[in-house]
Amino acid sequence: MRIIVTGATGFVGQAAIAHLREAGHDVLAATRRVAPCAAPVRVVGDIDSHTDWGAHLDGVDCVIHLAARVHVMHDSNGLEAYREVNTRGTQQLAESAARAGVRRFVYLSSAKVVGESSGSSVFSDASPAAPTDPYAASKHEAEIALQQVTAQSGMEVCILRPPLVYGPGVRANFLRLLRWIDRGIPLPFGVVRNARSLVALDNLANAITVCATHPRAAGQTFLVADSEPLSTPELIRRLATALDRPARLVPVPPAALRFAGRLTGKTAEIDRLLGNFRVDSAGIRTALDWQPPVSSDKALALTAAWYREQHPKQ
């Protein structure tokens, strides 16, 4: 099967290409500019409402669309900047793919489409959309655009909604947490009692690969996550074990942490560390007979090993 992957040089893209090639697929990489990649590169420039896909989709059976304007804390560019890439860019690609005769389109959305906190419940594939920021809103609008394209063309669309993705090469807050643990910095989450779903990079890449070909993936929208949610202190303990460092957890009351968050303008960050975000991925497991191939402990160990290679223990 011939598959083209957007966002091919990114964190998820590189892992997806490795899994797809291992599964025997002929993979092309769509990139903004010439860059080293494990698959033949097709330079398409910026992905937005004006992207000319030209002959890049000729002979392609499946598009896996991973490229996106990502959620950045304190991003001041507004909803329109996200819409141009995530919504209109996705629609432009999907319409081009349908005209080129592409059979399957796999779109990487986000679990944030259904909300920012699951509270005392658990998000499922049937949960209504409730995006709370421009990134999630643009992703939801892209999902709607894809449904319209498939209704008009018959192209098969499968949408995946992952929570936080971690693994070798991870950046942003997860990498910051690794650094704090490695440096022995006391972390004030000792009495936090929450549950947050995550998805390991290899598990997500495997799910993407399955959705590219499985007959029952057509027309589906799936939440995809590891087998078990983790509390913030449990995540810290497991990472500390993998890094061979002590878990320095200080028992600070969550109310005090939230107050500190308001004082420092970091309410959203604190809420993510204290709140629940549980997703039920029973849909993809039942429909596609899919199981995460890597356990949380194994994935966290691989992540820690990668970090240790980059930052040798002193």
Which are the catalytic amino acids? 135
From residue 133, give the alpha-carbon distance in Å to each of 44, 75, 127, 155, 251: 28, 10, 17, 29, 31
Rounded-to-integer distance, Cα 64 and Cα 218, Å: 13
Sequence-ordered alpha helix ranges (H) in the chain = 11-22, 78-82, 88-99, 134-153, 172-182, 201-213, 232-243, 254-264, 267-274, 282-288, 296-310
DSSP 8-state code for residue 83: I
Smallest CA-to-CA distance from 82 within 68, 62, 99, 102 is with: 68
Query: CB-based burial of residue 62 (10 Å sphere; 0-12 exposed, 13-18 middle, 19+ buried)?
Result: buried
CA atoms within 13 A on the CB side of 225: 26
Rounded-to-integer distance, Cα 153 and Cα 34, Å: 32
Phi, psi of 13 (to 5 degrees): -60, -45
Give the distance from CA 205 to its chain's centroid.
10
Give the pair of three-digit tokens for residue 162: 């992952």
